[in-house]
Amino acid sequence: MENLALIESFSEFKDEKFIDRVTLMSILEEVFRNTLKRKYGDDDNFDIIINPDKGDLEIWRNRIVVEDDSVEDENQEISLSEARKIEPDFEVGEDVSEEVKLIDLGRRTVLALRQNLVSRINEHDNGIIYKQFVDLIGEIYTAEVHHVRHNVVILLDDEGNELIMPKDRQIPSDFYRKGDSIRGIIESVELKGNKPSILMSRTSPKFLEKLFEQDIPEVFDGLISIKKVVRIPGEKAKVAVDSYDDRIDPVGACVGMKGSRIHGIVRELGNENIDVINYTNNIQLLITRALSPAKISSLKINEENKSVEVFMDPEQVSKAIGRGGFNIRLAGQLTGYEIDVYREGAEEDVELTEFSDEIEDWVLEELKKAGLDTAKSVLEQDVEDLVKRTDLEEETILEIRKVLSAEFSE
């Protein structure tokens, strides 16, 4: 293969990779010099001439002419008789420049050279991709579903870069098909070997924060700041917002008229229920707001172990705990306090665990998930509402109520 033909072959990489021709030629020269060092022991006496515009390359080997029986280093010296085969008028002591054809290097050397070039170009491209995505960490990014596996979704962006979204970075209600366009944030970028591994997430609180920035102008402009975001992806989220401008209602601006502004965000997150609350440095008030929609009668804070005892009317407890305990769990994450809820005037109530001999454990667990942990908290609920809030049949709930009611009968 002639040098020019080989270079044209190598240049095919340019059309598919993030590399310009000049850089390609620079890498090519380096790869050639390494090849020459391995074959001849040194490359100092070689000239490699590259024309990046035409994409051609020439290799010239420079040696000094010596007497026929005086050659000590075949790479640096050439015998007079060999030199005169090139030009008949060469004399001892003169410099000889001889072009090296690829065929002179041998087929194996050329194949290794090509493999090394491919490796270096990929390494160069991967370095550029890595730097590009490191700068995008924490930003919203859009990519297309390329392949759906059991525990990961493989994505491709418009440039053909591969991103991965593991199962635990997907919203549980999400369903993907090949060709779907999805949004998430770039959560992390790592170099595994020489290849960048780009992780996309739709479950990160940062994704919700960035959606607020993108969809709510006052947040984007900095008039409203997001103090903290906590999420149970696909289920519920709480966002604490604040504004330095007293004329702005941060909650109203984020939610919009009849929820118009936040509706698109809720839809993007698989109908995740989003509570937006006003942030405050007053921890008592923040805890009260975080437990919304429940109304608190009083609370007692223990700063030493970062816990709080919250007291409220019995009918408010299920609201404070929320379906699956989501509300109280997120309130604790938002405020940084472990929250325990107590019913006022509920001394005569009985914990559901006391009925474990009469009611199966899995049934008690279903009630607990609905925020119901005492007999009266269950009896206060409407049967139809309990059917909706749990996986229990109406018949089962009626039997439970009969057992619990017997506890309070005369």
- What is the CB neighbour count within 10 angstroms for residue 405? 12
Identify whether residues 151 and 230 lie together within a single domain.
Answer: no
- What is the CB neighbour count within 10 angstroms for residue 10? 21
Identify whether residues 81 and 27 lie together within a single domain.
Answer: yes
187: containing domain: 136-201
What DSSP string describes 172-208?
A: TT----TT-EEEEEEEEEEEETTEEEEEEESSSHHHH
Q: Are 254 and 263 in contact (CB under 8 A)?
A: no
Find the CATH number of the domain harbouring 209: 3.30.300.20
- Domain boundary at 279, 298, 318, which? 279
Domain annotation covers residue 107: yes
Q: Which long-range contacts (CB under 8 A, 24 or more apart) does 344-347 make?
A: 344/297, 344/311, 344/312, 344/313, 344/314, 345/313, 345/314, 346/314, 346/374, 346/376
The confidence score (pLDDT) of residue 358 equals 83
Q: Are 214 and 151 in contact (CB under 8 A)?
A: no
Identify whether residues 12 and 127 lie together within a single domain.
Answer: yes
Question: Which residue in the block uniquely carries the two structure tokens 């209602």?
Answer: 249
Identify whether residues 14 and 114 lie together within a single domain.
Answer: yes
The reported pTM is: 0.65
Identify whether residues 106 and 17 lie together within a single domain.
Answer: yes
Q: How far is CA 184 from each of CA 138, 187, 191, 236, 277, rounded to the nearest angstrom? A: 9, 9, 20, 18, 24
Find the CATH number of the domain harbouring 159: 2.40.50.140
Domain annotation covers residue 345: no
- Domain boundary at 115, 131, 147, which? 131
Identify whether residues 269 and 379 lie together within a single domain.
Answer: no
φ/ψ of residue 43, rounded to 5 = -120, 5
Rounded distance between C-alpha atoms, residue 313 and residue 311, angstroms: 7
Identify whether residues 122 and 183 lie together within a single domain.
Answer: no
The confidence score (pLDDT) of residue 1 equals 41
Identify whether residues 210 and 246 lie together within a single domain.
Answer: yes
Q: How far is CA 311 from each of CA 254, 292, 298, 305, rounded to the nearest angstrom? A: 30, 14, 5, 18
The confidence score (pLDDT) of residue 223 equals 94
Cα–Cα nearest to 391, from 361, 360, 370: 370
Domain annotation covers residue 314: no
Find the CATH number of the domain harbouring 120: 3.30.1480
- Domain boundary at 221, 247, 279, which? 279
Identify whether residues 16 and 109 lie together within a single domain.
Answer: yes
Identify whether residues 194 and 217 lie together within a single domain.
Answer: no
pLDDT tens for the chain, 410 residues long, are 445 445 555 555 545 455 666 677 777 778 888 888 887 888 888 888 776 556 567 788 888 888 888 888 888 888 888 888 888 888 888 888 888 777 677 777 777 777 777 777 777 778 788 888 999 999 999 999 999 998 999 999 988 889 999 999 999 999 999 999 999 999 999 988 778 899 999 999 999 999 999 999 999 999 999 999 999 999 999 999 999 888 999 999 999 888 889 999 999 999 999 999 999 999 999 999 999 888 998 889 998 899 999 888 877 888 888 887 899 999 999 999 999 888 776 556 778 888 887 888 888 888 888 778 788 888 878 888 788 778 888 888 888 888 888 777 64
Identify whether residues 271 and 193 lie together within a single domain.
Answer: no
State the total domains in the chain: 4
